[in-house]
Amino acid sequence: MSKYLAIASFLGAATLSSAGVYSINSGIPNGDLGFGGSTSLVYWSTSFTVAAGNETITSVDAMIGRAGTGSATNGSAIRVSVSHDADHDGIADAGGLLADLNTVVSGANTNIFTTFDTADVTLSVGDGFVVSCLMESNAANPSPVALDSSASVAGRNFIAFGAPSIRITSWPRPQTAL
């Protein structure tokens, strides 16, 4: 299976211990999203259901920014997470945080996925899970979310914006589904 982001669709993916990848898009960005020069946190996520033989998630791949745009900056703080989606609604609000990585962006604006090595997470076949990113959209990161609108993924991808005091574990149901 090709390695693409599991996170329009957001460009992100969950890598499996068996060298497979959960993904729902083409891996080619055709847009980006952010707040321009305004400062706000931006959270984006993609949900999946665990398939047999692919129960252990070892990392999350994310494409930050889009080539030729200057929409994101290397070295910017980013939070990458894997959450249990106990109610299978595609939102990381039920089931708990399973892996959480605070790190920095690398490979911004290259149209290449960056692999974020999260703690390994093992789930059961049929469980739902959400991979997500959280970072600040500001003058240095005007549009950090790489988008792929080539496939319909209604109810699988979510985005939310908010004040810098909002924590990923306490996000309300996002206002916008892409």
Tell me: the pLDDT tens digits for 92-149?
A: 878 889 999 999 999 999 888 888 999 999 999 999 999 989 888 888 888 888 877 7
**Residue 101's CATH number:** 2.60.120
Asked if the structure places residue 175 within a domain, the reply is no
Is 140 inside a domain boundary?
yes
The pLDDT of 141-159, averaged and rounded, is 74
> Residue 171: inside a domain, yes or no?
no
Higher pLDDT, 134 or 164: 134
Report the range of poorest mean pLDDT among 9-13, 41-45, 54-58.
9-13
Q: Is 29 among the domain residues?
A: yes
Domain assignment of residue 148, given as a range? 9-163
Q: Cα dihedral sign for 29, 9, 44, 162?
A: positive
Q: Is residue 74 part of a domain?
A: yes
Q: What pLDDT is attached to residue 151?
A: 64
Torsion of CA 160, 166, 169, 173, to 10 degrees: -40
Instruction: Give the whole-angstrom CA distance, residue 41 versus residue 166.
Output: 8
Number of domains into which the chain is organized: 1
Residue 32 CA to residue 71 CA, distance in Å, equals: 8
Q: Could you tell me if residue 176 is inside a domain?
A: no
Q: Is the pLDDT of residue 169 over 50?
A: no
Average pLDDT, the chain: 76
Instruction: Please give the average per-residue pLDDT across 34-54, as a whole number.
Output: 83
